[in-house]
Amino acid sequence: MTNRELLERISANPMVMVGKPVITGTRLTVEYILNLLAHGASQTGILGEYKNLVPEDIQACLLFAARALESLEFVGNQGEAPEILDAAKEAERRMQAYERGEMSAKPLDEVLRSFSKERP
Protein backbone atom coordinates (compact mmCIF):
# COMPACT_ATOMS: atom_id res chain seq x y z
CA MET A 1 0.00 0.00 0.00
CA THR A 2 1.38 3.45 -0.88
CA ASN A 3 1.81 6.25 1.65
CA ARG A 4 -1.07 8.11 0.06
CA GLU A 5 -3.35 5.07 0.31
CA LEU A 6 -2.40 4.63 3.95
CA LEU A 7 -3.01 8.31 4.77
CA GLU A 8 -6.41 8.14 3.08
CA ARG A 9 -7.37 5.73 5.87
CA ILE A 10 -7.11 8.68 8.30
CA SER A 11 -9.61 11.52 8.27
CA ALA A 12 -10.67 14.48 10.37
CA ASN A 13 -14.12 15.95 10.65
CA PRO A 14 -15.08 18.56 13.26
CA MET A 15 -18.25 16.56 13.92
CA VAL A 16 -16.36 13.35 14.79
CA MET A 17 -14.26 13.20 17.97
CA VAL A 18 -14.00 16.99 18.05
CA GLY A 19 -12.03 17.02 14.81
CA LYS A 20 -9.20 14.77 15.98
CA PRO A 21 -7.69 12.53 13.30
CA VAL A 22 -9.47 9.16 13.32
CA ILE A 23 -9.30 5.92 11.42
CA THR A 24 -11.89 6.57 8.72
CA GLY A 25 -15.27 5.03 9.48
CA THR A 26 -14.52 4.70 13.20
CA ARG A 27 -14.30 6.86 16.28
CA LEU A 28 -10.83 5.51 17.07
CA THR A 29 -8.40 8.41 17.14
CA VAL A 30 -4.84 8.16 15.90
CA GLU A 31 -3.80 9.40 19.33
CA TYR A 32 -5.63 6.52 21.05
CA ILE A 33 -4.04 3.87 18.83
CA LEU A 34 -0.58 5.39 19.32
CA ASN A 35 -1.10 5.44 23.09
CA LEU A 36 -2.10 1.77 23.04
CA LEU A 37 1.11 0.95 21.17
CA ALA A 38 3.20 3.17 23.45
CA HIS A 39 1.87 1.35 26.50
CA GLY A 40 2.78 -2.08 25.20
CA ALA A 41 -0.27 -3.20 23.25
CA SER A 42 0.64 -5.32 20.25
CA GLN A 43 -0.79 -4.92 16.79
CA THR A 44 -2.33 -8.37 17.16
CA GLY A 45 -3.91 -7.37 20.48
CA ILE A 46 -5.38 -4.18 19.03
CA LEU A 47 -6.74 -6.02 15.98
CA GLY A 48 -8.23 -8.65 18.30
CA GLU A 49 -9.96 -6.02 20.39
CA TYR A 50 -11.24 -3.97 17.44
CA LYS A 51 -12.44 -6.53 14.90
CA ASN A 52 -13.23 -3.89 12.25
CA LEU A 53 -9.59 -2.78 12.04
CA VAL A 54 -7.00 -4.19 9.65
CA PRO A 55 -3.19 -4.00 9.95
CA GLU A 56 -3.10 -1.13 7.43
CA ASP A 57 -5.13 1.02 9.83
CA ILE A 58 -2.40 0.76 12.44
CA GLN A 59 0.27 1.40 9.79
CA ALA A 60 -1.71 4.49 8.76
CA CYS A 61 -1.66 5.81 12.35
CA LEU A 62 2.11 5.38 12.54
CA LEU A 63 2.65 7.03 9.15
CA PHE A 64 0.34 9.90 10.09
CA ALA A 65 2.35 10.50 13.28
CA ALA A 66 5.63 10.40 11.33
CA ARG A 67 4.30 12.90 8.79
CA ALA A 68 2.97 15.19 11.52
CA LEU A 69 6.43 15.24 13.13
CA GLU A 70 8.21 16.02 9.86
CA SER A 71 7.17 19.65 10.00
CA LEU A 72 8.27 20.18 13.61
CA GLU A 73 11.70 21.30 14.68
CA PHE A 74 12.75 20.37 18.19
CA VAL A 75 16.08 22.18 18.31
CA GLY A 76 16.16 25.92 17.91
CA ASN A 77 12.43 26.39 17.39
CA GLN A 78 11.97 28.92 20.20
CA GLY A 79 11.57 31.72 17.66
CA GLU A 80 8.91 29.86 15.68
CA ALA A 81 5.99 30.35 18.06
CA PRO A 82 4.30 32.79 15.61
CA GLU A 83 4.28 30.05 12.94
CA ILE A 84 2.59 27.64 15.35
CA LEU A 85 0.01 30.28 16.23
CA ASP A 86 -0.60 30.98 12.54
CA ALA A 87 -1.16 27.26 11.89
CA ALA A 88 -3.58 27.05 14.81
CA LYS A 89 -5.48 30.10 13.54
CA GLU A 90 -5.68 28.59 10.05
CA ALA A 91 -6.98 25.30 11.48
CA GLU A 92 -9.64 27.21 13.42
CA ARG A 93 -10.60 29.19 10.29
CA ARG A 94 -11.00 25.96 8.33
CA MET A 95 -13.13 24.39 11.04
CA GLN A 96 -15.41 27.41 11.14
CA ALA A 97 -15.72 27.36 7.33
CA TYR A 98 -16.62 23.67 7.49
CA GLU A 99 -19.25 24.34 10.17
CA ARG A 100 -20.78 27.08 8.00
CA GLY A 101 -20.93 24.62 5.09
CA GLU A 102 -18.38 26.58 3.05
CA MET A 103 -15.98 23.66 2.69
CA SER A 104 -16.15 19.89 2.92
CA ALA A 105 -14.07 17.67 5.19
CA LYS A 106 -10.75 16.89 3.51
CA PRO A 107 -8.52 13.85 3.86
CA LEU A 108 -6.00 14.65 6.55
CA ASP A 109 -2.88 14.27 4.41
CA GLU A 110 -4.04 17.28 2.36
CA VAL A 111 -4.42 19.36 5.52
CA LEU A 112 -0.99 18.22 6.72
CA ARG A 113 0.61 19.21 3.42
CA SER A 114 -0.89 22.69 3.74
CA PHE A 115 0.84 23.20 7.09
CA SER A 116 4.18 21.54 6.41
CA LYS A 117 7.21 23.68 5.67
CA GLU A 118 8.85 23.82 2.29
CA ARG A 119 11.78 21.42 2.17
CA PRO A 120 14.91 22.40 0.20
Please state the pTM of the whole predicted model: 0.63
pLDDT digits (tens, 9 = 90+) for 35-65: 999 999 999 999 999 999 999 999 999 999 9
Burial zone of 5 (CB within 10 Å; 0-12 exposed, 13-18 middle, 19+ buried): exposed
Residue 9: give its domain's CATH number: 1.10.10.10
Q: Can you give the residue range of the structural domain that contains 72? A: 3-115
Kindly state whether residue 48 falls inside one of the protein's structural domains.
Answer: yes
| 3-state class (DSSP) for residue 22 | strand
Q: Report which of 3, 8, 30 is spatially closest to residue 19, judged by C-alpha positions.
A: 30
Q: How many residues does the chain have?
A: 120
Kindly state whether residue 120 falls inside one of the protein's structural domains.
Answer: no
In the chain, how many domains are there? 1
Burial zone of 104 (CB within 10 Å; 0-12 exposed, 13-18 middle, 19+ buried): exposed
CA 59 and chain centroid, separation: 12
